[in-house]
Copies of this chain bind each other. A is one copy, B any other.
Amino acid sequence: MTLHSQLGPGAEFDLIRTFRSNLPDHPDVLVGIGDDAAVLRGGWVVSIDASVEDVHFRRSWLNAEEIGYRAATVALSDLAAMAASPVALFVSLHLTAQDYARGPEIMTGIARAALAQDAAVAGGDTTRTSGPLAIDVAVLGRSDRPVLRSGARAGDDIWVTGRLGGAAAAVQTWHAQHQVSAAARAAFAQPHARVREALWLARQLELHALIDLSDGLASDAAHMAAASDVLIRLQADQLPIHDAARRSDDPVHLALTGGDDYELCFACAAGSVETVRADFERTFGLPLTRIGRAAAGTGVQIVAADGHPLTGEWRGYDHFGVTS
Protein backbone atom coordinates (compact mmCIF):
# COMPACT_ATOMS: atom_id res chain seq x y z
CA MET A 1 0.00 0.00 0.00
CA THR A 2 1.53 3.27 -1.09
CA LEU A 3 1.63 6.09 1.44
CA HIS A 4 0.32 9.45 0.26
CA SER A 5 0.86 12.37 2.62
CA GLN A 6 -1.75 15.05 3.22
CA LEU A 7 -0.99 18.20 1.26
CA GLY A 8 -1.04 21.77 2.50
CA PRO A 9 -3.30 24.55 1.17
CA GLY A 10 -3.09 26.08 -2.33
CA ALA A 11 -4.74 25.78 -5.74
CA GLU A 12 -1.81 23.80 -7.18
CA PHE A 13 -2.34 21.28 -4.40
CA ASP A 14 -6.11 21.31 -4.91
CA LEU A 15 -5.40 20.14 -8.47
CA ILE A 16 -3.15 17.36 -7.18
CA ARG A 17 -5.80 16.39 -4.61
CA THR A 18 -8.39 16.23 -7.40
CA PHE A 19 -6.59 13.65 -9.46
CA ARG A 20 -4.43 11.85 -6.92
CA SER A 21 -7.18 9.53 -5.78
CA ASN A 22 -7.59 8.19 -9.31
CA LEU A 23 -3.95 7.42 -9.99
CA PRO A 24 -2.71 3.85 -10.19
CA ASP A 25 -0.33 2.38 -7.59
CA HIS A 26 2.45 -0.20 -7.87
CA PRO A 27 3.69 -2.46 -5.07
CA ASP A 28 7.27 -1.20 -5.58
CA VAL A 29 6.16 2.39 -4.80
CA LEU A 30 6.37 2.73 -1.01
CA VAL A 31 5.76 6.49 -0.78
CA GLY A 32 3.89 8.21 -3.60
CA ILE A 33 2.65 11.71 -4.38
CA GLY A 34 2.59 14.17 -1.49
CA ASP A 35 6.14 14.18 -0.16
CA ASP A 36 9.21 15.90 -1.58
CA ALA A 37 9.96 12.72 -3.51
CA ALA A 38 8.63 9.21 -3.96
CA VAL A 39 10.30 6.22 -2.33
CA LEU A 40 10.62 2.99 -4.31
CA ARG A 41 11.48 -0.48 -3.07
CA GLY A 42 15.22 -0.91 -2.81
CA GLY A 43 15.80 2.54 -1.32
CA TRP A 44 15.40 4.61 -4.46
CA VAL A 45 14.07 8.15 -3.98
CA VAL A 46 12.71 9.94 -7.05
CA SER A 47 11.30 13.37 -7.90
CA ILE A 48 10.68 15.65 -10.88
CA ASP A 49 10.90 19.43 -10.83
CA ALA A 50 10.17 22.09 -13.43
CA SER A 51 11.98 25.38 -14.08
CA VAL A 52 10.04 27.59 -16.45
CA GLU A 53 11.05 31.02 -17.73
CA ASP A 54 8.93 33.88 -16.33
CA VAL A 55 7.55 31.55 -13.65
CA HIS A 56 10.61 30.35 -11.77
CA PHE A 57 13.14 32.79 -13.22
CA ARG A 58 13.56 35.52 -15.77
CA ARG A 59 16.15 35.59 -18.49
CA SER A 60 17.28 39.03 -17.43
CA TRP A 61 18.14 37.69 -13.97
CA LEU A 62 20.31 34.71 -14.90
CA ASN A 63 22.78 33.64 -17.54
CA ALA A 64 22.27 30.35 -19.39
CA GLU A 65 24.71 28.44 -17.19
CA GLU A 66 22.92 29.66 -14.06
CA ILE A 67 19.52 28.72 -15.52
CA GLY A 68 20.78 25.15 -15.90
CA TYR A 69 22.56 25.08 -12.55
CA ARG A 70 19.50 26.35 -10.72
CA ALA A 71 17.07 23.96 -12.47
CA ALA A 72 19.19 20.98 -11.45
CA THR A 73 19.84 22.27 -7.92
CA VAL A 74 16.17 22.79 -7.07
CA ALA A 75 15.49 19.23 -8.23
CA LEU A 76 18.41 17.89 -6.19
CA SER A 77 17.04 19.79 -3.20
CA ASP A 78 14.07 17.39 -3.23
CA LEU A 79 16.53 14.55 -2.57
CA ALA A 80 18.09 16.56 0.28
CA ALA A 81 14.56 16.91 1.66
CA MET A 82 14.35 13.10 1.91
CA ALA A 83 17.93 12.69 3.24
CA ALA A 84 18.80 10.76 0.06
CA SER A 85 22.13 10.63 -1.80
CA PRO A 86 21.80 11.75 -5.43
CA VAL A 87 22.71 9.22 -8.12
CA ALA A 88 21.40 10.47 -11.46
CA LEU A 89 19.60 13.34 -13.19
CA PHE A 90 17.39 13.10 -16.28
CA VAL A 91 16.89 16.39 -18.07
CA SER A 92 14.22 17.52 -20.51
CA LEU A 93 15.16 20.80 -22.20
CA HIS A 94 12.49 22.81 -24.03
CA LEU A 95 14.49 25.26 -26.12
CA THR A 96 13.34 27.90 -28.56
CA ALA A 97 15.11 27.97 -31.91
CA GLN A 98 17.09 30.98 -30.65
CA ASP A 99 18.07 29.09 -27.51
CA TYR A 100 19.58 26.21 -29.42
CA ALA A 101 23.06 27.74 -29.23
CA ARG A 102 22.68 28.14 -25.47
CA GLY A 103 21.93 24.43 -24.95
CA PRO A 104 25.53 23.54 -24.11
CA GLU A 105 25.80 26.43 -21.59
CA ILE A 106 22.58 25.31 -19.90
CA MET A 107 23.90 21.75 -19.79
CA THR A 108 27.19 23.01 -18.34
CA GLY A 109 25.23 24.50 -15.45
CA ILE A 110 23.28 21.30 -15.00
CA ALA A 111 26.53 19.34 -15.00
CA ARG A 112 28.01 21.69 -12.38
CA ALA A 113 25.02 21.14 -10.10
CA ALA A 114 25.18 17.37 -10.60
CA LEU A 115 28.94 17.29 -10.02
CA ALA A 116 28.54 19.29 -6.79
CA GLN A 117 26.46 16.38 -5.48
CA ASP A 118 28.46 13.56 -7.11
CA ALA A 119 25.51 12.69 -9.35
CA ALA A 120 25.48 11.68 -13.01
CA VAL A 121 23.49 13.24 -15.82
CA ALA A 122 22.23 9.96 -17.22
CA GLY A 123 19.55 10.86 -19.74
CA GLY A 124 17.55 13.57 -21.38
CA ASP A 125 15.34 14.85 -24.11
CA THR A 126 15.65 18.04 -26.15
CA THR A 127 12.63 19.68 -27.74
CA ARG A 128 12.13 22.81 -29.75
CA THR A 129 9.45 25.01 -28.24
CA SER A 130 7.75 28.20 -29.35
CA GLY A 131 7.19 29.15 -25.74
CA PRO A 132 9.18 29.92 -22.66
CA LEU A 133 12.48 28.18 -22.01
CA ALA A 134 11.66 25.26 -19.73
CA ILE A 135 13.70 22.56 -18.04
CA ASP A 136 12.32 19.52 -16.28
CA VAL A 137 14.76 17.60 -14.15
CA ALA A 138 13.97 14.16 -12.74
CA VAL A 139 16.33 13.13 -9.94
CA LEU A 140 17.06 9.68 -8.54
CA GLY A 141 18.85 9.08 -5.29
CA ARG A 142 19.24 6.40 -2.67
CA SER A 143 18.48 6.29 0.99
CA ASP A 144 18.41 3.45 3.48
CA ARG A 145 16.06 5.48 5.66
CA PRO A 146 14.34 8.35 3.83
CA VAL A 147 12.88 11.06 6.05
CA LEU A 148 9.30 12.05 5.19
CA ARG A 149 7.42 15.23 5.99
CA SER A 150 4.78 13.33 7.89
CA GLY A 151 6.56 12.39 11.11
CA ALA A 152 6.51 15.63 13.15
CA ARG A 153 4.96 15.15 16.60
CA ALA A 154 3.42 17.59 19.05
CA GLY A 155 6.23 18.88 21.24
CA ASP A 156 8.92 18.61 18.55
CA ASP A 157 11.20 21.53 17.92
CA ILE A 158 11.27 22.96 14.38
CA TRP A 159 14.67 23.92 12.96
CA VAL A 160 16.04 25.44 9.77
CA THR A 161 19.45 25.51 8.15
CA GLY A 162 20.98 28.68 6.72
CA ARG A 163 19.34 32.07 6.33
CA LEU A 164 15.97 32.86 4.81
CA GLY A 165 14.64 35.48 2.43
CA GLY A 166 17.79 36.21 0.44
CA ALA A 167 16.47 34.90 -2.87
CA ALA A 168 13.13 36.65 -2.30
CA ALA A 169 14.99 39.90 -1.58
CA ALA A 170 16.70 39.59 -4.95
CA VAL A 171 13.39 38.96 -6.73
CA GLN A 172 11.75 41.88 -4.95
CA THR A 173 14.63 44.16 -5.91
CA TRP A 174 14.56 43.01 -9.54
CA HIS A 175 10.82 43.66 -9.68
CA ALA A 176 11.42 47.16 -8.28
CA GLN A 177 14.10 47.62 -10.95
CA HIS A 178 16.71 48.50 -8.38
CA GLN A 179 20.29 47.26 -8.23
CA VAL A 180 20.52 43.78 -6.72
CA SER A 181 23.42 43.16 -4.34
CA ALA A 182 25.88 40.39 -5.13
CA ALA A 183 24.80 38.49 -2.01
CA ALA A 184 21.10 38.65 -2.87
CA ARG A 185 21.78 37.69 -6.47
CA ALA A 186 23.85 34.70 -5.34
CA ALA A 187 21.06 33.58 -3.01
CA PHE A 188 18.74 33.35 -6.01
CA ALA A 189 21.15 32.33 -8.79
CA GLN A 190 23.42 29.97 -6.86
CA PRO A 191 21.31 28.07 -4.35
CA HIS A 192 22.74 24.97 -2.71
CA ALA A 193 21.00 21.63 -2.48
CA ARG A 194 21.58 20.82 1.21
CA VAL A 195 22.26 17.16 0.56
CA ARG A 196 25.37 16.76 2.69
CA GLU A 197 23.73 18.73 5.48
CA ALA A 198 20.65 16.49 5.38
CA LEU A 199 22.70 13.29 5.38
CA TRP A 200 24.78 14.58 8.28
CA LEU A 201 21.69 15.54 10.30
CA ALA A 202 20.02 12.20 9.55
CA ARG A 203 23.12 10.38 10.81
CA GLN A 204 23.40 12.43 14.01
CA LEU A 205 19.74 12.83 14.93
CA GLU A 206 16.44 11.08 14.76
CA LEU A 207 14.75 13.44 12.30
CA HIS A 208 11.00 13.13 12.66
CA ALA A 209 10.13 15.17 9.56
CA LEU A 210 12.14 16.97 6.89
CA ILE A 211 11.25 19.30 4.01
CA ASP A 212 13.13 21.75 1.81
CA LEU A 213 12.07 25.38 1.56
CA SER A 214 11.04 25.99 -2.02
CA ASP A 215 7.65 27.72 -1.76
CA GLY A 216 8.52 29.74 1.34
CA LEU A 217 8.77 28.78 5.00
CA ALA A 218 5.12 29.44 5.87
CA SER A 219 3.85 27.33 2.95
CA ASP A 220 6.36 24.55 3.39
CA ALA A 221 5.74 24.39 7.14
CA ALA A 222 2.04 24.12 6.29
CA HIS A 223 2.83 21.05 4.15
CA MET A 224 4.76 19.49 7.02
CA ALA A 225 1.93 20.37 9.44
CA ALA A 226 -0.72 18.86 7.15
CA ALA A 227 1.31 15.71 6.46
CA SER A 228 2.13 15.26 10.16
CA ASP A 229 -1.31 16.29 11.44
CA VAL A 230 0.10 18.86 13.86
CA LEU A 231 0.07 22.62 14.30
CA ILE A 232 3.42 24.26 13.65
CA ARG A 233 3.97 27.47 15.57
CA LEU A 234 6.80 29.61 14.21
CA GLN A 235 8.43 32.42 16.18
CA ALA A 236 8.85 35.45 13.95
CA ASP A 237 11.62 36.87 16.16
CA GLN A 238 13.67 33.67 15.89
CA LEU A 239 13.88 33.46 12.09
CA PRO A 240 17.45 33.51 10.72
CA ILE A 241 17.00 36.28 8.18
CA HIS A 242 19.38 36.73 5.25
CA ASP A 243 21.27 40.05 5.28
CA ALA A 244 19.74 41.00 1.94
CA ALA A 245 16.24 40.48 3.34
CA ARG A 246 17.08 42.47 6.49
CA ARG A 247 17.48 45.53 4.29
CA SER A 248 13.96 45.16 2.86
CA ASP A 249 10.78 46.84 4.12
CA ASP A 250 9.50 43.70 5.80
CA PRO A 251 12.27 41.18 6.51
CA VAL A 252 10.01 38.80 8.45
CA HIS A 253 7.51 38.66 5.61
CA LEU A 254 10.26 37.90 3.10
CA ALA A 255 11.71 35.18 5.31
CA LEU A 256 8.28 33.59 5.77
CA THR A 257 6.89 33.83 2.26
CA GLY A 258 9.87 34.23 -0.03
CA GLY A 259 10.48 30.94 -1.74
CA ASP A 260 13.64 29.69 -3.41
CA ASP A 261 15.82 29.46 -0.31
CA TYR A 262 16.25 25.66 -0.60
CA GLU A 263 17.25 25.44 3.01
CA LEU A 264 16.11 22.51 5.14
CA CYS A 265 13.35 22.63 7.74
CA PHE A 266 13.03 19.71 10.12
CA ALA A 267 11.29 18.46 13.25
CA CYS A 268 13.16 16.74 16.09
CA ALA A 269 12.39 15.80 19.67
CA ALA A 270 12.67 18.92 21.84
CA GLY A 271 16.19 19.50 23.08
CA SER A 272 17.85 16.91 20.84
CA VAL A 273 19.41 19.20 18.25
CA GLU A 274 21.27 21.49 20.65
CA THR A 275 23.91 18.81 21.26
CA VAL A 276 25.02 18.74 17.60
CA ARG A 277 24.36 22.32 16.65
CA ALA A 278 27.86 23.73 17.12
CA ASP A 279 29.37 20.78 15.27
CA PHE A 280 26.93 21.30 12.36
CA GLU A 281 27.64 25.02 12.16
CA ARG A 282 31.41 24.41 12.22
CA THR A 283 31.22 21.61 9.64
CA PHE A 284 29.05 23.44 7.12
CA GLY A 285 29.66 27.11 7.97
CA LEU A 286 25.90 27.47 8.13
CA PRO A 287 23.63 28.47 11.01
CA LEU A 288 21.20 25.96 12.48
CA THR A 289 18.30 27.74 14.13
CA ARG A 290 15.35 26.65 16.23
CA ILE A 291 12.39 28.59 14.82
CA GLY A 292 9.37 27.01 16.43
CA ARG A 293 7.58 24.04 17.86
CA ALA A 294 4.94 21.54 16.80
CA ALA A 295 1.79 21.27 18.88
CA ALA A 296 -1.56 19.55 18.80
CA GLY A 297 -3.72 21.17 16.14
CA THR A 298 -3.51 21.93 12.45
CA GLY A 299 -1.92 24.52 10.20
CA VAL A 300 0.79 27.09 10.82
CA GLN A 301 0.73 29.93 13.31
CA ILE A 302 3.22 32.76 13.32
CA VAL A 303 3.78 34.28 16.74
CA ALA A 304 5.59 37.41 17.89
CA ALA A 305 8.19 37.46 20.67
CA ASP A 306 5.42 37.92 23.22
CA GLY A 307 3.62 34.81 21.97
CA HIS A 308 0.76 36.67 20.28
CA PRO A 309 -0.17 35.42 16.79
CA LEU A 310 0.76 37.65 13.89
CA THR A 311 -1.93 38.14 11.29
CA GLY A 312 -1.23 38.38 7.59
CA GLU A 313 -1.09 36.44 4.35
CA TRP A 314 1.69 33.92 4.82
CA ARG A 315 1.17 31.79 1.79
CA GLY A 316 4.11 31.38 -0.54
CA TYR A 317 4.01 31.10 -4.28
CA ASP A 318 0.99 29.26 -5.64
CA HIS A 319 1.03 28.62 -9.37
CA PHE A 320 -2.73 28.70 -9.75
CA GLY A 321 -3.78 30.55 -6.64
CA VAL A 322 -5.67 33.80 -6.58
CA THR A 323 -2.92 35.29 -4.40
CA SER A 324 0.69 34.68 -5.26
- Residues of A at under 8 Å CB distance from B? 2, 11-12, 15-16, 18-19, 22-26, 28-29, 32-33, 37-38, 40, 42, 44, 46-50, 52, 54-56, 87-88, 90-92, 94, 97, 100, 103-104, 107-108, 111, 114-115, 118-132, 134, 136, 138, 140, 142, 319-320
Contacts and interface: CB of A to CB of B under 8 A. Distances in A.
B125 A50 contact: yes
Contacts of A54: 130
Contacts of A29: 87-88, 120, 122
Contact of A124 (B16, B56, B88): B16
Nearest to A119: B26
B125 A46 contact: no
A42 to B, nearest CB: 6
A138 B48 CA distance: 8
Nearest to A25: B120
A238 B92 CA distance: 36
A29 to B, nearest CB: 4
A214 to B, nearest CB: 10
B55 A123 contact: no
A142 B108 CA distance: 30
A135 to B, nearest CB: 9
Given A25-B120, A26-B118, A134-B94, A100 B320 contact: yes
